[in-house]
Amino acid sequence: TMKLNDNERIVLKVLADEGYEGFCYWCFSGLASATKLDRKKVRRACRSLTRKGFAQYGRGLWNDDGEPAGSGYCATRAGAEFLA
């Protein structure tokens, strides 16, 4: 079974609460605000979750208004199921 540290678990919970597999991507600053973790810890957790297959990185994203939104991370199905 896969082990997550506390920061990874906190970040994955926020990602998975918004859906998974491309439904809602989060940037580092948004995750830092939502989790109360500093940006460095959020970045480290996101990259680790991606290596473990629990998050995915997306770039060239657009917001609901059709404007460029940069890049971010979202939960994968495996990540959402891991928390369930």
Q: What tens digit of pLDDT does each residue of 19-75 get?
A: 666 668 999 999 999 999 999 999 999 999 999 999 999 988 887 888 888 899 999
- Please state the pTM of the whole predicted model: 0.87
Of 65, 80, 69, which Cα lies nearest the Cα of 25?
69
Position of tokens 């919970």? 13
- Of the pLDDT bands very low, low, confident and very high (cuts 50, 70, 90), residue 6 is very high
Confidence band of 78 (pLDDT split at 50, 70, 90): very high
CA-to-CA dists, residue 74 to 3, 59, 80, angstroms: 19, 11, 10
Burial of 55 (0-12, 13-18, 19+ CB in 10 A): buried
